[in-house]
RNA sequence: GGGCCCGUAGCUCAGCUAGGACAGAGCGCCGGCCUUCUAAGCCGGAGGUCCCGGGUUCAAAUCCCGGCGGGCCCGCCA
């Protein structure tokens, strides 16, 4: 009963499959086949074949009934169902036509009664979920890669919320690490200058960071070059020279924006005997919490200020900011180290304390449980540097435990780039090895591929990146120009809302496992299969509903629902909860996007071909308005889940 | 060297987990539709060795094996 209330499409399939199981009960009594029966009911590739179809060969195999007996058995029994209009056999298929007088009433009633919760699934088990996302190093602004992360994480957050889960969003500020120390070193060498008021702090400090690391790398390479020249290794020398040239051109680009800083840094760092040792000193002092090194935190928090601003612009939020330094200073990392040292998996790798996973991984069952590929070899996890400072994954063990504990989380989702697959596997194994089996199992690495910009290679260390801020700015400008061409002005806010929604739609439309190629023009394509297309379709539907005023559902003539294109529209509307349910388990946003685009397209066809408000027949008009209202609700709920802005006008 | 991911129309991508009806969509290109509910729309057309080669099957883009091409990982970086 719950099901029929919340998920009309599932209800439809279940009604048919349970009828099937009745008919086939003598041959197909196994209860396991019941769900298989439901899966066997599919959709025909073309609308004119019917609403649902069953492939006879598959059914005959499943139930072990000869093909020729099946046909008559099925048609006669299914046609008795109230929900079924007719059954047609074509070749190897039984095609089912739904009775839309019955079905449309069910669908439309469900949608209006659930309204902003339509899509919500009643039998979903509620969970407490943490989404850790973005977590970009606090040394530069968010670039396109972090942008993809932010969009995906925000989507996971909103989807979980929609499903009725308790969700918390966390950002892990990685201020205890070499990157942060490099930035702090550079900023310190500059004498902690004020950030130019014309620049966002993350942008300015990102340049300082890039200049610092690039200068240090150049100095290192020059040293190697001298050695190569001295030893007469000409190949090596020319290789080094071209590498240096490339870095120098990066530096030249940085100098165009912050010339003084680049000059001062180049001079001061060059006069240093061993700049990298200085950086390590900062790292060590900061990790110990020594007061004279606390400037690291101050610098990082300026970058974080900038990042917060960007996230706000993306309409994305964080509930808890976790500073890695706090984790270390609170002694949580030491606890982990202590526990590890008494573990049976503990040992020394190249003289450094480490956890070894070879024994753990010999059982196939554990690999399965922890989602570690069958043949993947996992190297030992080194816990500490020889100088005593900790390493990222070690700190992440402590952090993961903190997340699970503080929120009593059932599940922790880490949205992290795909290149960290191995270290995330090590993390799960380490947790398991230390006795945190449940945590290891419920820690999910939600990975995504990198983002490409055609014809450009990106590197944070070199300052070669396109920032999310720039992307938003450019797209907003494009929106404004477009509107101007059409003779209407649009506010900055409206332009931003369209721009960021377009980005989100594009990012979510591509499977996270594929590299995303960003083409600015394409993101803002106002045509089909785009964010603006969905927003526009919603506005169209809204405009109709507004003008329709109050319509009484009592006057709806459901008998008119069997004709195209209303028929398809109703079937499509009925699927929304089913799509949500599938996406909730697969976590593939692209399926949700494809559904919404399809629904919008069908609605636009309907809108073009049929008068809605001008429909003379009152009952039919009420039906058309109700369907339009259904589209409105589904598109709105869709946009909420994707983090897109629901615009009332466009 | 080992592992993972990707390869489908000129471009960007669905479809592959659970094999089945002529392989789909958008962009771009060509041609139509605004005195009527928002034309950021709709209708029509052209465009494909599903990377290649084997195998399994009544049936393969989908499963298996072997290649080829691209990306990523195999750090006392994160």
Strand B lies under 7 A from the Cβ of residue A590? yes
Per-residue pLDDT at A538 = 97
Q: Å between A597 CA and B30 C1'?
A: 25
Q: Å between A286 CA and B76 C1'?
A: 18
Q: Å between A121 CA and B16 C1'?
A: 27
Using the C1' atom of nucleotide B75, identify the protein residue whose alpha carbon is closest: A382
Q: Å between A513 CA and B7 C1'?
A: 13
Q: Å between A616 CA and B36 C1'?
A: 14
Strand B lies under 7 A from the Cβ of residue A601? yes
Which residues in 366-425 of chain A line strand B, with CB less than 7 A from it? 373-377, 379, 382, 385-387, 391-393, 418-423
Using the C1' atom of nucleotide B22, identify the protein residue whose alpha carbon is closest: A45
Using the C1' atom of nucleotide B72, identify the protein residue whose alpha carbon is closest: A419
In tens, the pLDDT along A20-36 reads: 888 876 655 565 666 77
Tokens representing A613?
């408000």
Rounded mean pLDDT for each run of 10 residues along chain A, 650 residues in total: 74 88 68 72 89 88 76 85 91 91 95 95 90 96 94 97 97 95 97 96 96 95 91 87 91 95 96 94 95 97 98 97 96 95 93 91 85 84 90 95 97 94 94 95 93 76 89 91 83 94 93 85 76 95 92 89 92 95 92 95 94 93 96 97 94
The end-to-end CA distance of chain A, in Å, is 40
* Beta strands A84-90 and A52-55, pairing class: unpaired
The phi, psi pair for A619, rounded to 5°, reads -65, -40
SS3 A312: helix
Using the C1' atom of nucleotide B23, identify the protein residue whose alpha carbon is closest: A45
Q: Residue A4 burial (CB < 10 Å; 0-12/13-18/19+)?
A: middle
Strand B lies under 7 A from the Cβ of residue A589? no
Q: Å between A508 CA and B14 C1'?
A: 13
Task: Read off the pTM.
Answer: 0.95
Strand B lies under 7 A from the Cβ of residue A650? yes
Residue appearing with tokens 């400072």: A389
Per-residue pLDDT at A489 = 84
Q: Å between A621 CA and B50 C1'?
A: 45
Q: Which nucleotide is nearest to A43 (CA to C1')?
A: B21
Which residues in 346-375 of chain A line strand B, with CB less than 7 A from it? 349-352, 373-375
Strand B nucleotides, any atom under 7 Å from protein beta carbons: they are 2-6, 11-15, 17-18, 20-22, 24-28, 36-43, 58, 71-78
Using the C1' atom of nucleotide B3, identify the protein residue whose alpha carbon is closest: A376
Give the C-alpha separation, A607 to A20, whole Å.
Answer: 37
Strand B lies under 7 A from the Cβ of residue A484? no
Q: What's CA A52's distance to the chain center, in Å?
A: 32
Strand B lies under 7 A from the Cβ of residue A214? no
Strand B lies under 7 A from the Cβ of residue A457? no
Give the C-alpha separation, A27 to A24, whole Å.
Answer: 5
Is residue A358 within 8 A of residue A328, CB to CB? The reply is no
A306: closest CA among A193, A158, A153, A195? A195
In tens, the pLDDT along A546-568 reads: 999 877 788 999 999 998 899 99
Question: A517 pairs with which residues across the strands?
Answer: A452
Per-residue pLDDT at A1 = 45
């Amino acid at each position: 009963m719950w099901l029929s209330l919340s998920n009309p499409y599932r209800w439809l399939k279940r009604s048919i499959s349970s009828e099937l199981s009745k008919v086939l009960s003598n041959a197909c009594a196994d209860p396991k086949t019941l769900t298989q029966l439901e899966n066997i009911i599919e959709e025909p590739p073309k609308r004119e074949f019917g609403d649902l179809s069953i492939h006879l060969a598959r059914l005959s195999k499943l139930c072990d009934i000869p093909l020729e007996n099946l046909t008559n058995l099925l048609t006669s029994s299914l046609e008795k169902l109230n929900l079924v209009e007719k059954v047609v056999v074509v070749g190897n298929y039984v095609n089912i036509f739904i009775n839309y007088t019955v079905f449309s009433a069910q669908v439309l009633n469900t949608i209006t009664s659930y309204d902003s919760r339509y899509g919500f699934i009643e039998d979903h088990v509620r969970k407490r979920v943490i989404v850790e996302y973005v977590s970009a190093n606090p040394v530069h602004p968010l670039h396109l890669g972090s942008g993809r992360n932010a969009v995906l994480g925000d989507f996971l957050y909103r989807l979980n919320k929609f499903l009725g889960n308790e969700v918390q969003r966390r950002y892990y500020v990685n201020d205890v690490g070499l990157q942060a120390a490099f930035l702090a070193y550079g900023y310190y060498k500059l004498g902690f200058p004020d950030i130019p008021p014309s620049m966002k702090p993350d942008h300015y400090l990102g340049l300082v960071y890039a200049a610092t690391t690039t200068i240090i790398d150049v100095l290192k390479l020059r040293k190697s070059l001298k050695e190569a020249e001295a030893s007469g290794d000409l190949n090596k020398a020319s290789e080094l020279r071209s590498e240096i040239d490339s870095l120098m051109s990066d530096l030249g680009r940085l100098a165009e924006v912050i010339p003084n800083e680049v000059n001062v840094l180049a001079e001061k760092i060059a006069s240093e005997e061993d700049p990298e040792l200085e950086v390590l000193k900062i790292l060590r002092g900061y990790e110990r919490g020594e007061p004279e090194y606390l400037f690291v935190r101050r610098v990082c928090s300026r970058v974080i200020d900038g990042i917060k601003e960007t996230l706000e612009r993306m309409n994305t939020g964080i509930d808890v900011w976790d500073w890695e330094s706090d984790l270390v200073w609170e002694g949580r990392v030491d606890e982990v180290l202590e526990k590890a040292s008494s573990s049976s998996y503990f040992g020394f790798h190249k003289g450094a304390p480490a956890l070894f996973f070879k024994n753990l991984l010999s059982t196939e069952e554990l690999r399965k449980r922890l989602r570690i590929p069958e043949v993947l070899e996992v190297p030992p996890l080194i816990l500490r540097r020889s100088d005593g400072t900790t390493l990222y994954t070690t700190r992440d063990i402590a952090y993961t435990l903190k997340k699970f504990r503080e929120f009593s989380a059932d599940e922790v989702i880490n949205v992290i780039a795909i290149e960290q697959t191995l270290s995330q596997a090590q993390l799960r194994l380490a947790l398991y090895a230390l006795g945190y089996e449940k945590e290891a199992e419920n820690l999910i690495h939600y990975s995504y591929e990198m983002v490409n910009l055609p014809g450009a290679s990106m590197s944070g260390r070199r300052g070669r990146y396109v920032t999310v801020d720039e992307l938003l700015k450019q797209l907003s400008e494009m929106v404004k120009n477009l509107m101007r061409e059409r003779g209407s002005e649009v506010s900055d806010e409206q332009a931003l809302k369209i721009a960021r929604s377009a980005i989100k739609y594009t990012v979510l439309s591509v499977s996270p496992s594929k590299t995303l190629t960003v083409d600015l023009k394409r993101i803002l394509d106002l045509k089909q299969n785009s964010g603006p297309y969905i927003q526009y379709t919603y506005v169209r539907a809204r405009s109709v509903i507004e003008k329709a005023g109050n319509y009484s559902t009592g006057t709806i003539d459901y008998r008119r629902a069997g004709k195209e294109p209303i028929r398809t529209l109703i079937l499509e509307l009925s699927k929304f909860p089913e799509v949500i349910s599938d996406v909730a388990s697969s976590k593939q946003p692209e399926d949700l996007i494809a559904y919404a685009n399809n629904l919008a397209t069908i609605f636009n066809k309907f809108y073009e071909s049929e008068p809605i408000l001008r429909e003379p027949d009152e009952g039919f008009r009420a039906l058309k308005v109700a369907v339009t209202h259904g589209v409105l609700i589904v598109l709105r709920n869709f946009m909420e889940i994707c983090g897109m802005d629901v615009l009332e006008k466009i």
